[in-house]
Amino acid sequence: MGHFLMQNNCNNHAKIEKWRSPFPCKKPSPNLSPYIEPDGLTHQIRTMIIDFTQICKTYDKKIYTKECFSATPCPKCPAIGRFKMYGSYLRYIVYFAEGKLVHEQIELKRIMCKSCKSTHAVMPGDLIPYKLLSLFVVMLLLVACIVDETPVLRVAQKYELSFQIINIYLAAFSLFANRIHQYFKERLPTHTPPATDRKSVVALIKKPYTIFQCGYVKLNRRPCFMCKFLDGAGAPPIGIHAPRGAAT
């Protein structure tokens, strides 16, 4: 699928943007239709629950049963653990495994809260809502371009990505740089230098990156690098999956 991202024109990029959205157009084209409806109803995903015990590489919708969510709070209402399984949908993603980028569609589990009837996509912890690239890939690009100062074109060539998509993620990082610095200042005040330049901020984020993302979501109620809704009201609530036995 590498060629998919090598296309350097806007139309193709627009297609990619469409693919990655868990909120489909009301009338998706026959070629897109990423949804598998359990009951034939047209139902739109409204919110997400992030499972930080999984990453894209390990994610398998078959591992989930309703018992898995017995301690998980609903992101939309006060109910805890009142979910039923509600089908799945396909999501296009790019993640990093065995030294290379993997372009894949994964089937994301969807669950419904029996109390408020809202449906939630269950996402692996390294998947950034509305973004094509996984968190690890984003960090790989940021480290290469900002910390190592490798030219964007060379990074694009190495990972077979378009330079435009890399620039999109560099721009996303710029939007979040102050918030990321703020997060570390609150969490680790004595270990966070005052410098807020791009290189210093990227260096604050250490592996495993999902630990950072989990803390960031808890503090900010939205994942780092999730840009949609950044400038407006109405961002869907983001929940965190609590495995059985975890404190809620």
Q: Contacts with Zn ion: how many residues (CB under 5 A)?
A: 7
Residue with smaller CB distance to Zn ion, 79 or 227: 79
Q: Return the number of the residue (112 or 132) whose C-beta is nearest Zn ion.
A: 112
Part of the chain binding Zn ion (CB under 5 A), chosen from 4-12, 28-36, 75-83, 131-139: 75-83
| Min dist. Cβ of residue 73 to Zn ion (A) | 9
94 touches Zn ion (CB under 5 A): no
- Based on the shown chain and the rule CB under 5 A, indicate whether residue 77 belongs to the binding site for Zn ion: yes
Contact between 222 and Zn ion by CB under 5 A: the answer reads: no
Residue 44 CB-half CA count within 13 A: 9
Helix (H) or strand (E) holding 218: helix 209-220
Please provide the distance, in angstroms rounded to a whole number, between the alpha carbons at the two ends of the chain. 40
CA dihedral over 188, 190, 193, 194, signed as positive or negative = positive
> What is the closest distance, in whole angstroms, from the C-beta atom of residue 44 to Zn ion in the complex?
16
Task: Report the nearest approach of Zn ion to the CB of residue 77 (Å).
Answer: 3
If the CB atoms of residues 118 and 134 are measured against Zn ion, the closer one turns out to be 118
**Residue with tokens 């109405």, as numbered in its chain:** 234
CB closer to Zn ion out of 114 and 199: 114
The amino acid present at 155, given as its one-letter code, is V
- At 2, give phi and psi (nearest 5°): -55, -40
Task: Give 76 or 131: the residue with its C-beta nearer to Zn ion.
Answer: 76
Peptide bond into 208 cis (omega under 30): yes
All residues at 6 or more sequence positions from 104 whose CB lies less than 8 Å from its CB, including other chains: 1, 56, 92, 93, 94, 95
Among candidate residues 58, 42, 65, 56, the one with its CA nearest the CA of residue 105: 56
Q: Between residues 93 and 122, which has the closer beta carbon with respect to Zn ion? A: 122
- The enclosing H or E element of 137 equals helix 135-142
Tell me if 76 contacts Zn ion by CB under 5 A.
yes
Task: Tell me how far, at minimum, the Cβ of 79 lies from Zn ion, in Å.
Answer: 5
Q: Which of 112, 113, 156, 204 binds Zn ion (CB under 5 A)?
A: 113
Q: Which tokens is 67 given?
A: 């018992």
Q: Minimal distance in Å, beta carbon 237 to Zn ion?
A: 10
Minimum Å gap between C-beta 112 and Zn ion is 9
Structure tokens at 123: 């996402």
The answer to whether residue 192 forms part of the interface with Zn ion (CB under 5 A) is no
Q: Cα–Cα distance between 128 and 141 in angstroms, integer?
A: 15
Is residue 74 involved in binding Zn ion (CB under 5 A)? yes
Site for Zn ion (CB under 5 A): which residue of 12, 115, 150, 182?
115
The whole-angstrom separation of Cα 154 and Cα 241 is: 38
| Interacting residues toward Zn ion by CB under 5 A | 74, 76-77, 79, 113, 115-116
